Amino acid sequence: MVVASATTIRNERMRAVGVPVIDLSRKRSQVMELILKACEDYGFFKVINHGVPKDVVARMEEEGFHFFAKPASEKQKAGPPSPFGYGSKNIGFNGDMGEVEYLLLHSNPLSISQASNAISTDPTKFSCAVNEYIEAVRDLACEILDLIAEVLRIPDKSALSSLIRDVDSDSLLRLNHYPPPGSGIDCHDCNSSLPRHQNRVGFGEHTDPQILTLLRSNEVEGLQISLGGEVWVPVPPDPTSFCINVGDALQAMTNGRFVSVRHRAMANSFKSRLSMIFFGAPPLHAWISPLSEMVTPQKPRLYRPFTWAEYKKVTYSLRLGATRLDFFRTTTPSPSDDDDEEQDTASA
């Protein structure tokens, strides 16, 4: 088995493809159809005219940049992540590495308040900015999920969004910072053979395990989505939009009709990139299974029921690039298939 860090760059092809951009101010019926097609074809789209206030985004971004500009010794007081808090380069618990530093926070206001004391010299200001941002993007996530439920003709239009609005929701906020070499992260593990103009893998390829992901980044490019195989599509940066990812849980709930998009982030060699990511997740005790409307004689059930806690446990036990949903299919992979998967994900 070959173990490689996320800085490894394979022989890949880049393809310029116009990713879907959906204007949420258009007619509801048009928006629903556009979201449906994007979720089926890409598992990814951008939204504009989304209603998230600019000042809420600006305050969150300001707090993020302020934290990451601190000396390493100050930032480390907010870590190590267990799983919440500050982390640098290490991604997860299974040897994955990247050119990234991050803050991972639970969406629960009490958890945010407690974490703020180690993150900011003004904990109240920081926690207020985080809570306002989470509330705004959660509302946007729920609006999109309600549109999805409606276009899929699910009788309970809140069947998806109620999982995120639940008081026990396991939703997260993650701030990822990708600085240029020598600007704050200890880069002794960086691949020094790469020229400085060569983009480095900041966060290796993976799918998001949750229901829906909302990502907002600054004007620096870096996000790429996979079209399968070795084909990657760069997503042009646009600070006025939000990128929406279908997660594993939503793929399972739609019985595979929607695809959980594989994506990665490249670290620019000259500019700092900051991304703010909301992961909309159900409560730990919630059951995830294909919705009855998604199961037909022609499309039998692909996944067995599982709790979100069970899925998270499997997620943490695997490499970053693992295809986790395969372990929950009604027909599970054979041991030999698992070995092949481990070999593939080890080099992600």
Q: What is the pLDDT of residues 129-165, one digit of tens each?
A: 999 999 999 999 999 999 999 999 999 999 999 999 9
Name the least confident of 45-54, 235-244, 337-346: 337-346
Average pLDDT on 18-38 reads 96
User: What pLDDT band is residue 198 in, cutting at 50, 70 and 90?
Assistant: low
Residue 105, beta-bridge partner list: 173
Q: What is the pLDDT of residues 175-195, one digit of tens each?
A: 999 998 765 454 433 333 334
Domain positions in the chain: 21-182+199-328
pTM of the model: 0.88
Q: Pick 199 or 181 by higher pLDDT.
A: 181
Q: What is the pLDDT of residue 10?
A: 54
Q: Which value, to the nearest 10 degrees, does the dihedral of the CA atoms of residues 19, 23, 27, 32 take?
A: 40
Q: Which value, to the nearest 10 degrees, does the dihedral of the CA atoms of residues 30, 40, 247, 315 take?
A: 170
* CATH number, domain 21-182+199-328, options 1.20.1740.10, 3.90.1010.10, 3.40.190.10, 2.60.120.330: 2.60.120.330
Among residues 216, 262, 273, 319, the one annotated as catalytic is: 273
Q: Cα separation of 115 and 105, whole Å? A: 8
Q: What is the pLDDT of residue 182?
A: 60
- Annotated active-site residue 273? The verdict is yes
Q: Pick 5 or 42 by higher pLDDT.
A: 42
Q: What is the pLDDT of residues 211-233, one digit of tens each?
A: 999 999 999 999 999 987 788 99
Shortest CA distance to 243 belongs to which of 260, 268, 223, 258? 223
User: What pLDDT band is residue 14 in, cutting at 50, 70 and 90?
Assistant: low
Name the least confident of 12-26, 91-105, 160-174, 251-265: 12-26
Name the least confident of 8-22, 103-117, 165-179, 243-257: 8-22
